[in-house]
Structure 1
Amino acid sequence: MDFTAWPPLLVVDVEGNGANPPDLVEVAALPVQGGRPDTRTAGAWLTRPRRPVTPYAARVHGLTNQVLATAPDWEEIADEVHARLGTAWIAAHHAHVDYRVLTAHLPKWQPAGVIDTLRLAKTTYPSLPKYTLGALIEHVAPDLCEAPAQRHRAAFDAYATAHLLIAMADHYESWDRLIATAVPPGLPGAPEPEQEPTLW
């Protein structure tokens, strides 16, 4: 895989307050450049949700209502997050969830494309019993010693997902082959289905 041929791409991860639909409590965006995650230019934001964080969500990511009490409202950081995401490609694990939540919070944002590492993993490693982020970390065993924060925080999960994406991308000979496998139908960047030839 020629990583220098990749367009601008950010691995993203979001954490919510546990409501349905969720309010955001954390967003991370990690650029991948030259086949490596670029932590120097990464972005990570905490935000105080409109509705309280549920006890279950707080147990998962550790972001309690007390922790978020002094975090900015979403409206205070939305423009900054939007500007950081820009029109780059994004990648995420179970990407339609992150994409749906981000577009609900940033209605004017539109990425160039959306790579789903879950979808990619099912093709790259077809015999695995599970395809959770944790299961893939165990299977691929990337070096996460420099990962920020801890598991289930947005910055950590984005960093881990970036390493998984890079490892899986090496199984594909080109960017076009990668996105043909990794972009879910109906999401930005999905290859157009081939049309049947007609007589007119």
Structure 2
Amino acid sequence: MTDWAALSYVVVDVEGNGQRPPDLVELAAVRIEHGHLGDPASWLVRPPRPITPFAKQIHGIANEHVAAAPAFAEVSAEVRKALDAPALVAHNAHVDVGVLERELGDWECPEVFDTLKLARRLLPGRPSYKLGSLVEAFGLDHGLADMQKPHRAEYDTIVTARLFAHLASSRSLEELRGQSKRGGDDEPSLF
């Protein structure tokens, strides 16, 4: 049985503009190497279509906040470099992967570990599997008081990385792969 920390991961979170399909507004990534979290990288980008009032209400990013930000094409090389890992981790990963695939075109998505699926299977009976509920239940936001708040990409990436480490800590890589691969647990994207 291989220890989960033997694999390198990149944990990602995206925030969208509320359009269908969503355009990228913010992206963050943090690496997990040998079981240790690295420093997060984040990008605020100007989407081609406006941010809807509903999306702004969720993440707090307004059109004026991104007016001077670069278009995604200007930071795509940096993003590709940050995403270069054997495995990707995200909460409700199909949303993040879908946006990244649209934005990066020929990007090859690595193996995916979805913390939503993992939490539902490894922690049965919880009242909620929303990221915020799991963060609160396990105290995963300690030390983040001075940082951006929930529903901002950098914050969500760090707490998702901590959630993944919490879920993985007593399991083998093979068990995590088996629990994350099963289908049917995706939730629709709100923005």
Please say whether Structure 1 and Structure 2 have the same fold, judged by a TM-score greater than 0.5. Answer: yes
Contact 1:124–1:171 at 8 Å: present in 2 too? no
Is it true that 1:5 corresponds to 2:3 in the alignment?
A: no
Gaps in structure 2 of 5+ consecutive residues: 185-191
TM-score normalised by structure 1 residue count = 0.85
Quick one: which of 91, 94, 109 aligns to 2:92?
94
Is it true that 1:178 corresponds to 2:179 in the alignment?
A: no
1:30 and 1:45 map into 2 onto residues whose CA distance is 12
Measured after TM superposition, the shift of residue 130 of structure 1 is: 1.2
Quick one: which of 138, 141, 144 aligns to 2:142?
144
Amino acid at match of 2:3: D
1:118-139 per-position Cα deviation (integer Å, ceiling 9, x unaligned): 0000011101121100111122
Per the alignment, residue 156 of structure 1 pairs with: 155
Amino acid at match of 2:72: W
Measured after TM superposition, the shift of residue 56 of structure 1 is: 1.0
1:44-94 per-position Cα deviation (integer Å, ceiling 9, x unaligned): 101001111001111111110011110001111112211221243110000
Amino acid at match of 2:79: V
Aligned residues: 182
Greater CA radius of gyration, 1 or 2?
1
TM-score normalised by structure 2 residue count = 0.89
1:34 and 1:114 map into 2 onto residues whose CA distance is 17
Per the alignment, residue 166 of structure 2 pairs with: 167
Q: Over aligned residue pairs, what C-alpha RMSD do you find?
A: 1.8
Per the alignment, residue 194 of structure 1 pairs with: none
Per the alignment, residue 34 of structure 1 pairs with: 34
Contact 1:94–1:116 at 8 Å: present in 2 too? yes
Contact 2:15–2:26 at 8 Å: present in 1 too? yes
Is it true that 1:70 corresponds to 2:71 in the alignment?
A: no
Structure ranking higher on relative contact order (CA contacts 8 Å, 6+ apart): 2
Amino acid at match of 1:20: R
2:154 and 2:134 map into 1 onto residues whose CA distance is 17
